[in-house]
């Protein structure tokens, strides 16, 4: 059974810092991996999707990498801003199915 772990569970940084969020998964036979953002009391917003054949994806200040062989993904946030404060979730989609397995998330607080 696929299991997804995110470390750290919470992170607090001052504005302007570059930071890395980690995601690991137990079964490397994945179809893709997605990173989501969740604001308190809101739904999830897709940030980046990495196909299994890709190594990384970038969107603005966000860069996500994928290493299937080691079962790891990282989300890099450059020059963090208070507006980046949210919970970040990663999820893997097992090959051939439209079902996602989620990690428990990293709660990020960026202080002005």
Partner 1 sequence: NAGVTQTPKFQVLKTGQSMTLQCAQDMNHEYMSWYRQDPGMGLRLIHYSVGAGITDQGEVPNGYNVSRSTTEDFPLRLLSAAPSQTSVYFCASQGHSSGANVLTFGAGSRLTVL
Q: Applying CB under 8 A, which residues contact partner 1?
A: 4, 32, 34, 36, 41-46, 49, 51, 89, 91, 93, 98-105
Residues contacting residue 101 through CB under 8 Å, at least 6 positions apart: 2, 3, 4, 25, 91, 92, 93, 94
CA distance readout (Å), 17 to 11, 23, 48, 106, 112: 12, 20, 21, 16, 11
Nearer to partner 1, 11 or 44 (CB): 44
Nearer to partner 1, 51 or 70 (CB): 51
Tokens at 29, concatenated: 């036979």
Residue 87: CB minimum distance to partner 1, A: 10
Alpha-carbon gap, residue 40 to 31, rounded angstroms: 29
Residue 84: CB minimum distance to partner 1, A: 19
Residue 70: CB minimum distance to partner 1, A: 21
Nearer to partner 1, 98 or 112 (CB): 98
> Would you put residue 74 in left (φ > 0), alpha (ψ -120 to 50) or beta?
beta
Nearer to partner 1, 26 or 51 (CB): 51
Residue 7: CB minimum distance to partner 1, A: 13
């Amino acid at each position: 059974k696929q299991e997804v772990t995110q470390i750290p569970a919470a992170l607090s940084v001052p504005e302007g810092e570059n930071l890395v969020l980690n995601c690991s998964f137990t079964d490397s036979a994945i179809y893709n991996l997605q990173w989501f953002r969740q604001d308190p009391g809101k739904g999830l917003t897709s940030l980046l999707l990495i196909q299994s054949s890709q190594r990384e994806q970038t969107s603005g200040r966000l860069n996500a990498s994928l290493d299937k062989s080691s079962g790891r993904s990282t989300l890099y946030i450059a020059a963090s801003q208070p507006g980046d404060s949210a919970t970040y979730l990663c999820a893997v989609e097992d090959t051939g199915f439209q079902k996602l397995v989620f990690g428990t998330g990293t709660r990020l607080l960026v202080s002005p």
